[in-house]
């Protein structure tokens, strides 16, 4: 499920040459917390109302804030699952999507990502997503897969993503599991020294003491 497939063209963009006052007006009209800033067709970053409002040069241009723009984005050929840490880190409801050369293509909406999970078999009782910091010289995907299967779990999707919060830049293995024993799977992995950074559980009858994706929960459990 590539991000390219789910692009939205509903929301505007801003230019480096736009005034800060125009940026504030467009953001207010869009009712979004962030919008993409472009230099021609290239994505430069995201701007927020807070950043614009706090500018020391309210009569200036957005270009004066270039170094302060956030760099959250997704490439069009990436899996939509890779958008979750960006949505969680930023609390944005839309995420810019680019091609491999950084050309802006459109936005990915958090609500659409949530719908994708629901439409692909995830409901309140049958699975979840876990994030495992992955070191290629230490961790084994085959061991992780075996432990999940031994606990009656089915890996429906997995991918490596870059963790925007990791200061060392280590990748994370994101695993989407279909199971009614999500807690048991997590406990089994932990017993084998496989650290789970965070997990998002779709069930109501299990207690998983890990981080939750509050933004996604808002759409899954309105």
More confident residue, 165 or 2: 2
CATH 3.10.580.10 assigned to 3-113: yes
More confident residue, 136 or 220: 136
| pTM assigned to the model | 0.67
Within its chain, how far is the Cα of 69 from the centroid? 18
CA distance 17 to 23: 10
User: Which residues, 6+ apart, have CB-to-CB distance to 109 below 8 Å?
Assistant: 6, 8, 93, 94, 95
pLDDT bin (cut points 50, 70, 90) of residue 125 is low
Predicted pLDDT at 87:
79
Q: What is the CATH number of domain 121-220?
A: 3.30.70.260
Closest C-alpha among 200, 50, 61, 36 to residue 117: 200
Kindly tell me if the per-residue pLDDT of 217 is higher than 60: no
Matching residue, tokens 């609500």: 111
pLDDT bin (cut points 50, 70, 90) of residue 79 is confident
What is the mean pLDDT of the segment spanning 92-120?
A: 86
**Domain chopping of the chain, boundaries:** 3-113, 121-220
User: Which residues, 6+ apart, have CB-to-CB distance to 7 below 8 Å?
Assistant: 76, 97, 105, 106, 107, 108
User: Which residues, 6+ apart, have CB-to-CB distance to 149 below 8 Å?
Assistant: 155
Determine which of 23-27, 73-77, 125-129, 190-194 has the lowest per-residue pLDDT on average.
125-129
Tens of pLDDT, residue by residue over 128-161, are 888 888 775 566 888 999 999 999 999 988 878 7
Kindly tell me if the per-residue pLDDT of 17 is higher than 50: yes
The pair of three-digit structure tokens given for residue 63, joined into one six-digit string: 């270009």
Determine which of 31-35, 163-167, 203-207 has the lowest per-residue pLDDT on average.
203-207
């Amino acid at each position: 499920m590539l991000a390219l497939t789910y692009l939205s063209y509903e929301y505007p963009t801003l230019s480096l040459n736009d005034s800060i006052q125009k940026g504030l007006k467009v953001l207010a009209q869009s009712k979004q917390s962030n919008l993409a800033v472009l230099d021609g067709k290239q994505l430069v970053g995201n701007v927020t109302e807070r950043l614009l409002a706090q500018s020391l040069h309210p009569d200036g241009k957005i270009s004066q804030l270039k170094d302060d723009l956030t760099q959250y984005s997704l490439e069009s050929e990436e899996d939509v699952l890779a958008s979750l840490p960006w949505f969680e880190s930023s609390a944005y409801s839309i995420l810019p999507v680019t091609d491999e050369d950084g050309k802006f293509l459109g936005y990915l909406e958090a609500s659409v990502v949530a719908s994708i999970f629901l439409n692909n078999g995830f409901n309140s009782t049958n699975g979840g997503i876990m994030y495992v910091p992955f070191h290629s010289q230490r961790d084994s995907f085959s061991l992780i897969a075996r432990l999940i299967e031994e606990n009656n779990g089915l890996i429906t999707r997995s991918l490596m993503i870059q963790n925007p919060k990791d200061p060392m830049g280590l990748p994370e293995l994101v695993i989407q599991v279909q199971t009614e024993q999500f807690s048991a799977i997590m406990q089994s992995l932990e017993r084998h020294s496989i650290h789970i950074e965070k997990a998002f559980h779709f069930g109501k009858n299990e207690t998983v003491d890990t981080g939750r994706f509050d933004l996604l929960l808002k759409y899954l459990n309105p």
